[in-house]
Amino acid sequence: MALAEGKVSGAHTPPTVSGLVTATSRVLALLAVFAMLASVNFEVIGRSFFGHATIWVTEVSTYLVVVITFAGAAFVAGRDANVRVDLLLNRLSPTLQETVSKALAWISVFIALVVLWKVTGFWAENYESGTRSWSLLNTPLWIPQLSAVVGLTGLVVTLALSSASRSGAWGYVPVAGALLYVLLDGAGIISGGLSPHRSVLLLGGLTVFAAALSSGVRAAAAAALLAAPAVIVFLATKDMTLASKSAGMVLVLFFLLFAGLPVVFSLFAIGIFAMLFWLPPVSLNYIGERAWEAVNTFELAAIPMFVMMGSVLVRSNASGEMFAATRLGMGRVRGGLAYASILASGIFAAVSGSSLATAATMGRVAGPEMMSEGYRAELAYGVLAAGGTLGILIPPSIAMIVYGPLAGVPVTELFMAGIVPGLLMIAAFALVVLVWTMVDGTAAPAGQGYTVRQKLAAFKGVMPFLVLMILVLGSLYAGVATPTEAGAVGVLGALGISFVRGTLTLRAFIGSLEEAALATSFLLMIAVGSSVMGFAVDFLSMPQELVTVVKQMNLSDIGLFAAIVILFLVLGMFVEPISMVLMTLPILLPVITAAGWDPLWFGIVLVMLVEIGLITPPVGMILYVLAGVSEQKVSLGRISIGTLPFVGAFLAMVFLFFAVPELITFLPEMLK
């Protein structure tokens, strides 16, 4: 996942336009995050301390989720922050890499145009019919839906301008024409327009023409060549069996992902191609409805809040003191820093909710410490990779927040169910370190002794995290706040801690808002893409067919479970965790339901499975994160070798939870 500042090249005017669009998108997304933070805390404080509940916060916060998702899309594109699989792309020569990157950007422009076209149509339909919400506010729905139209328009402009060359000013003419067409035709202003297929063909032709004019013939040809295999597969399987179509869909999805097309556009592409070639043409109209329904959910408001909470705490520099405290607690134990890293990762995970953030933070704090004290690189970075996987297992967890509403499982129960597995995983990782240091005494030096007074003095480094955990989970289980609201309460607590520590600056606050806006927009745009793809999957009854096939195979429970484990081991090497959940859940839920598995239990197992792939050599995403934060002082190969024992421990624990599901379910059941 690229999070670096995106570079926009071109003549003087285009970069100015692109910069203006990206800046506007950024401001809108940041304002929406801030408004959500203020309104949710206003509701919680007013209801809990003054007995005054509002009638508007839940609905307004839901609409703010929509605004962050779509209005922030251009900001995400401008920062090049969309998740992609760049394994093969990075192996190309610089010249070829630039050509392919521009080609992929133009494919993204085409997909975004099609989505904008149908989202505009959905908005116009609700505007003309005067559709209102069923709430006390009775809001005209076209008002929040307008943010999707505006946001996707900005996305198209940003993608087109960012892929242009200095001599490509004429390329903006066909892009402007395509943009004008989708807005006017979608809004119904053009009467007697083209058929859906001809409209898509027109948009494709204009996009290729724009690519040739602004990025060169090679980029345009590369875009056509990359799109051709997907089109051919969908055309070839049009009259085939459902099994062949399913295989073709999976094949195209993996082709697009490995080609380097961002996950969000890959998912959109699958849904659009299926609607064009397999379904009735009118099915394209459901893109707008699916886009709206995918993010018009109050529960998703927890995502920007939990991301911001972790970001504020990281910027307060509390993580370094927390690691120092856990280090002193280990004393003279051989490999004490490794144990301290596991414990510190678990504590940090309890407030960040993100595996990549946990790995990156602890890699910067603990990695250099262990290397300077003579730890073998494999052990030092292997344990940091393993500790990073605790990020979405120990509650609060963003993955659980996403899974809960989709699977119909209360998020509070998922949080409670994740506590015991999280603690057991910490113990399992510690056991790996113990065995490693016993077998190889040179892997880690003996620790240094500290007095009780020193340990007690250092304990203050853990206090901010403990206070925040108590504040978030306490407000949740005491009934003061819902899971969605608890994130906003946590942000307030994190801001208070940062203020007390003297690290709360305007720059740090805005940076935290930015991080929350970026993460929320790219994650929920993936949810939108997954929903569009899911429409085609549901329309063709693919999940039901998969259930039938699984039943016919007469797989035992352990055989089915092993197949699911293998699937996530492979996917996890290339795809970010939340993306994996969103991509696979529409298909897997019917399968686990047919198998009679508890969706609460499976939610925790699913979280664990998406985590294993992140540290599975050779291409787990956490491995790249750690290689990056080590500033290439430790090779990817050595980090990969170091993770293998922890992958083994992870797999052992997953199968233990399969054999003894009560380890996951007993705590939520006991507290019901």
Q: What is the pLDDT of residues 576-629, one digit of tens each?
A: 677 678 777 877 888 888 888 999 999 999 888 888 877 876 556 787 778 777
Burial of residue 587, with CB atoms counted within 10 A of its CB: 0-12 exposed, 13-18 middle, 19 or more buried: middle
pTM of the model: 0.82
What per-residue confidence (pLDDT) applies to 468?
Answer: 82
Q: What is the spatial distance between Cα 368 and Cα 634, in angstroms, rounded to a whole number?
A: 10
Q: Does residue 331 surpass a pLDDT of 70?
A: no
Predicted pLDDT at 13: 42
pLDDT at position 480 is: 85
Check: CB of residue 451 under 8 Å from CB of residue 270.
no
| Residues contacting 463, CB < 8 A, separation 6+ | none
Q: Name, of 7-21, 42-56, 355-369, the range with top average pLDDT.
A: 42-56
Per-residue confidence band for 7, with pLDDT thresholds at 50, 70 and 90: very low
Residue 346 and residue 206: Cα distance in Å, rounded?
51
Residue 406 CA to residue 588 CA, distance in Å, equals: 12
C-alpha dihedral sign at 431, 437, 443, 447: positive
Residue 324 contacts residue 505 (beta carbons within 8 Å): no
**Selection from 363, 370, 369, 358 nearest residue 314 by Cα:** 358
Average pLDDT in the 167-195 region?
A: 81
Distance from CA of residue 160 to its chain's centroid? 24
Q: What is the pLDDT of residue 226?
A: 92
- Paired tokens of 101: 């990157």
**What residues pair up with 132 in beta bridges, in sequence order?**
140
pLDDT exceeds 70 at position 124: yes
Q: What local confidence, expressed as pLDDT, does residue 401 receive? A: 82
Tokens of 260: 């380097």
How far is 416 from 579, CA to CA, in rounded Å? 23
Q: Which of 323-332, 485-494, 534-543, 552-561 has the highest mean pLDDT?
A: 485-494
Cβ partners under 8 Å of residue 494, min gap 6: 308, 309, 310, 312, 313, 316, 351, 468
Give dist(CA 33, CA 31) in Å, integer. Answer: 5
Instruction: In whole angstroms, give the CA distance from residue 410 to residue 405.
Output: 7
Per-residue confidence (pLDDT) for residue 26, from 0 to 100:
95
Size (the chain), residues: 672
Indicate the average pLDDT of the chain. 84
Give the model's confidence band at 2: pLDDT under 50 very low, under 70 low, under 90 confident, else very high: very low
Rounded-to-integer distance, Cα 464 and Cα 167, Å: 54
Cα Rg for the chain, rounded, in angstroms?
25
CB atoms within 10 A of CB 621: 24
Whether residue 396 is preceded by a cis peptide bond, meaning omega within 30 degrees of 0, is yes
CA separation for the pair 557, 559 (Å, rounded): 5
- Cβ atoms of 107 and 226 within 8 Å: the answer is yes
pLDDT digits (tens, 9 = 90+) for 137-178: 889 999 999 999 999 999 999 998 877 665 556 667 888 899
Percent of the chain with pLDDT over 90: 31
Cis peptide before 94 (omega within 30 of 0): no
Which structure tokens are listed for 497? 């801690």
Structure tokens at 249: 């869909």
Report yes or no: 459 and 325 within 8 Å, Cβ to Cβ. Answer: yes
Banded pLDDT at 53 (limits 50, 70, 90):
confident
Q: Give the per-residue pLDDT at 192.
A: 64
Q: Is 664 helix (H, G, I), strand (E, B) or coil?
A: helix
Mean pLDDT along residues 37-48 = 91
> Which residue, chain included where needed, has tokens 């019917």?
590
Report d(CA 219, CA 208) in Å as an integer: 9
